[in-house]
Structure 1
Amino acid sequence: MAVIKEKLWTKEFLFISLINFIITLMFYLLIVTIASYAQSEYGATTSTAGLVSSIFIIGSLIGRLGAGRVIGNIGTQKTLWIGLIFFTITSALYFATFNIGLLIVNRLLQGIAVGIAGTATGTIIAQILPNTRKGEGIGYYSLSAILATAIGPFLGILLLKMDGGFQWIFAMNAVLSVVCLVIYAIVKIDVPLPKAPNQDMEKSSFISKFIEPRAIPISFVALLIGFSYSGVMSFLSFYADEINLVSAASYFFLIYAIVVIFSRPFTGKLMDTRGANIVTYPCLVLFAIGMFLFSQATAGWMLLLAAALIGIGYGNFNSIAQSVAVKVTPPHRFGLATSTYFILYDIGLGVGPFLLGFVVPYSGYRPIFLSMVFLILICIPIYYLLHGRRDKELLKIS
């Protein structure tokens, strides 16, 4: 008897993925240009300009921390409306930031909006995907963010070259935020608010109202892996200049994105049928090999091969880990699981460059990236202890 494959590419799935793409696109477009705007428009110092850029991340963490709780109370649909409306308002406010203080406040507020909206979109995807195809579906969904990370910075740099470039950027930000509202109004998603069992409500602690404890183990591994990759994301241009591979480095994230796009459909399906372990262990090993090659690169082909290996390893680990965070969690706490995962993951990405930046002047870039190889390898037994040894049980349940 033939097995009927549950539908994945629904209108709801495509539209929510498109909303996530647009929001992530604007995030990366602004984060590579806003520091220059602060300096040219308000004469901000380098440190203040850096704050204008990075405070968005702090806002996103605040938004994610509260979003999981809000989703549990009012549902994902209303929460996403709140996030998108808030995002639209803060997009328009860029035209009213008459001093550096207002710009910083608006960046913080828009970060909160993106944290709320991003958590809601991720939760909706987890809710509408069939259980048998969650890994595959989340893998496809997360490609929307991967594409945005490649296109956003490119668009930002392109717009900066135009006359009145910053005004064009803010106008695009405002228009696309309205587009998100229109798309969401059209899609009309109907996801019922899952009811928690009475015993679960009685035993819930204050912390569990904001964090999903069952998602913490895999999210902690994601924090360490995010930390390992954060130096590549933040210091690539400086490192490439130091080792005289600037030309090859300009293709690094393009190669990374292409490899992720072509590999994620296979890794997602493999997780759904064979469990997370069969994907996670090879991904961590390939990420370590890619990071080692990256730390020792002396030629362009070495740097680009490292990009491919990091794309397969790190790029696929993210979607698998996010899928695990959802799968170990009951449906009524999907929102908290999604926010917990991204809170810890974003902490790793955000804290990494800050801490590593203190060490770079004393050690240089190569030792920093080489030390990340050991951290990635340490994550293998950590993953086994926190989740891997119980993955077969999860596969049987799902």
Structure 2
Amino acid sequence: MSKPQLWTANFISIAIANFLAFTSFYYLLVTLPVFAIQDMHEDEAAVGLITTVFLISAIVVRPMAGKWIERTGKTVVLLIAFAILCGASAFYFFAYSMPALLVLRFCHGIGFGMATTAAGAIVADLIPESRKGEGMGYYGLTMNLAMVVGPFLGLTVMQQGGATLMFIVNAAFCVLAFIGGLLVRLPKKEASQVVGVKDASSSGLRGFIEYSAIPVSLVAAFFALAYSAIISFVSVYAREIGVTEAASYFFVVYAVVLFVSRPFTGRWFDAYGAHVIIYPAILLFAVGTYLLSVSASAPLFLLSAALIGLGWGTVFPSLQTIAIQRAGPEKGAAATATYLSIFDFGFGVGSMLFPFIAVSIGYGTLYFYTSFLVLVGLAVYYALYGRSSARADETQ
């Protein structure tokens, strides 16, 4: 019996659009602080607000975006979101004061939060149920790839062409993402669904938060704490241990491992279930973080990148798949919004706390303790999801 098709034109279009949106996010994540310090002559302490304000608006808007999707439809919210991204990208040319930049970042975060929520809900509808783990794995790969492409292009463009060219390229990402969104055509059953119908489950907070997705989302937020330390300091740490040249290849190795492993991990998720994939992936994440903490050479540094990529790169989409599956197709948008909001909260907390910890104990020591934090995640996963899932399987 042949498998249902995964790589449809719609799936490819939404995956590309999501990749471009996340590329823009990571592109500005590394370039705007440099722009604020060099071109706007802002204090380094204030520059941290550029990311914080963005994440706050994205976190706040996602639950509301899930509600809007239920009322107006996924594609409508997606295109509005991409239009906001395009508009925000145009205003970066004129934001030459910190207050103006922070207001713009807040608006940009609203568009990003809406776009990623709608895109996640759309892709959940497009992926056949029997290939959900595999499909969400490939979709998650677009975010991981953006994490490599965005910073690399951002720093390269800024060094070669300055701020103006940097903002032009960012605007191009957003326009192309909008075009990708226009190409998405949902199945007829989705297009014909009635929107705007209220039921008891959509009243109050239930309309904004999908409660069934909260436990596994909290697991993701816990791991996001560790992940935020890695992505924030790895290049600084590389300079500290004398492997500066290898730093630029860290996320390249990370991405290559994801590309090689994704066809297998997603299929194993569908065939054998979440536990068979997630427990080993958490262990690999922990081992990779430990090796990073003791790296004294480029080969060991890059080996840690491979293990972190295989571990975390498998855990993140697997947990998102669980959140969507537990909620059911009709609550996919709310589940996606809940998952990403709680994940971003964990990432944001880590981004605020770890800089102070790193200054006190050093980056190597921080990664050493972080590896044990990841191991604690095994118990967190079991307590918040694994135990209840095992009981549910026993009763079936």
TM score, norm. by length of structure 2: 0.93
Shift of 1:394: 7.1
Change over 3 Å in CA distance of 1:397–1:45 after alignment to 2: farther
Question: 2:176 matched to which residue of 1?
Answer: 179
Question: 2:153 matched to which residue of 1?
Answer: 155
CA–CA distance in 1 between the matches of 2:391 and 2:191? 28
Task: Specify the SS of the correspondent of 2:2.
Answer: coil
Question: 2:191 matched to which residue of 1?
Answer: 192
Over residues 223-251 of structure 1, what are the superposed CA-to-partner deviations in whole Å (9 max), with x where a residue is unaligned?
Answer: 11111121111111222222222222222
Change over 3 Å in CA distance of 1:264–1:390 after alignment to 2: farther
Question: 1:319 matched to which residue of 2?
Answer: 317
CA–CA distance in 2 between the matches of 1:185 and 1:255? 33
Question: 1:226 matched to which residue of 2?
Answer: 224
CA–CA distance in 2 between the matches of 1:392 and 1:12? 35
Shift of 1:370: 1.6
Question: 2:364 matched to which residue of 1?
Answer: 366
What are the within-5 Å matches in structure 2 for residues 107-118 of structure 1? 107-118=105-116
Shift of 1:362: 2.3
Change over 3 Å in CA distance of 1:395–1:23 after alignment to 2: farther
Shift of 1:27: 1.0
Shift of 1:280: 0.4
CA–CA distance in 1 between the matches of 2:191 and 2:61? 23
Over residues 306-347 of structure 1, what are the superposed CA-to-partner deviations in whole Å (9 max), with x where a residue is unaligned?
Answer: 111111111110111110010101222111100111111112
Return structure 1 stretches of 4+ with deviation > 4 angstroms.
193-196, 392-398
Root-mean-square deviation (Å): 2.2
AA aligned to 2:191 is: P
Given that 1:13 and 1:128 are in contact with CA atoms closer than 8 Å, whether structure 2 keeps it comes out as yes
Question: 1:263 matched to which residue of 2?
Answer: 261
Question: Does residue 94 in structure 1 map to residue 115 in structure 2?
Answer: no
Shift of 1:305: 1.1
Change over 3 Å in CA distance of 1:127–1:302 after alignment to 2: same
Change over 3 Å in CA distance of 1:147–1:203 after alignment to 2: closer
Given that 1:275 and 1:391 are in contact with CA atoms closer than 8 Å, whether structure 2 keeps it comes out as no
Given that 2:126 and 2:186 are in contact with CA atoms closer than 8 Å, whether structure 1 keeps it comes out as no
CA–CA distance in 1 between the matches of 2:343 and 2:380? 16
Task: Specify the SS of the correspondent of 1:7.
Answer: coil
Counterpart pick for 1:124 among 122, 125, 128: 122
CA–CA distance in 2 between the matches of 1:177 and 1:238? 29
Shift of 1:49: 2.1
Given that 1:326 and 1:334 are in contact with CA atoms closer than 8 Å, whether structure 2 keeps it comes out as yes
Change over 3 Å in CA distance of 1:276–1:195 after alignment to 2: farther
Given that 1:74 and 1:193 are in contact with CA atoms closer than 8 Å, whether structure 2 keeps it comes out as no
Given that 2:131 and 2:270 are in contact with CA atoms closer than 8 Å, whether structure 1 keeps it comes out as yes
CA–CA distance in 2 between the matches of 1:271 and 1:394? 17
Given that 2:79 and 2:182 are in contact with CA atoms closer than 8 Å, whether structure 1 keeps it comes out as no
Change over 3 Å in CA distance of 1:172–1:330 after alignment to 2: same
Structure 1 unaligned regions, length at least 5: none
Question: 1:17 matched to which residue of 2?
Answer: 15
Over residues 242-296 of structure 1, what are the superposed CA-to-partner deviations in whole Å (9 max), with x where a residue is unaligned?
Answer: 2222222222111111111111221111111111000001001111111111111
TM score, norm. by length of structure 1: 0.93
Change over 3 Å in CA distance of 1:320–1:204 after alignment to 2: same
Question: 2:165 matched to which residue of 1?
Answer: 168
Residue identity over aligned pairs, in percent, reads 36
Change over 3 Å in CA distance of 1:193–1:110 after alignment to 2: farther
Structure 2 unaligned regions, length at least 5: none
Question: 2:278 matched to which residue of 1?
Answer: 280
Task: Specify the SS of the correspondent of 1:42.
Answer: coil
Shift of 1:203: 4.8
Of residues 381-390 and 276-285 in structure 1, the stretch that sits farther from structure 2 once superposed is: 381-390
Change over 3 Å in CA distance of 1:397–1:160 after alignment to 2: farther
Shift of 1:194: 5.5
Given that 1:277 and 1:391 are in contact with CA atoms closer than 8 Å, whether structure 2 keeps it comes out as no
CA–CA distance in 2 between the matches of 1:151 and 1:61? 24
Change over 3 Å in CA distance of 1:287–1:194 after alignment to 2: farther
Of residues 202-211 and 378-387 in structure 1, the stretch that sits farther from structure 2 once superposed is: 202-211
Task: Specify the SS of the correspondent of 2:7.
Answer: coil
CA–CA distance in 2 between the matches of 1:237 and 1:326? 34
Change over 3 Å in CA distance of 1:395–1:261 after alignment to 2: farther
CA–CA distance in 2 between the matches of 1:242 and 1:12? 45
Counterpart pick for 1:304 among 302, 305, 329: 302
Given that 2:55 and 2:348 are in contact with CA atoms closer than 8 Å, whether structure 1 keeps it comes out as yes
Question: Does residue 292 in structure 1 map to residue 280 in structure 2?
Answer: no
Task: Specify the SS of the correspondent of 1:4.
Answer: coil
Shift of 1:98: 4.2
CA–CA distance in 1 between the matches of 2:193 and 2:216? 23
Question: 2:212 matched to which residue of 1?
Answer: 214
CA–CA distance in 1 between the matches of 2:273 and 2:232? 32
Over residues 54-96 of structure 1, what are the superposed CA-to-partner deviations in whole Å (9 max), with x where a residue is unaligned?
Answer: 3222222123232111112212111101101111111111123
Question: 1:54 matched to which residue of 2?
Answer: 52
Shift of 1:132: 0.4
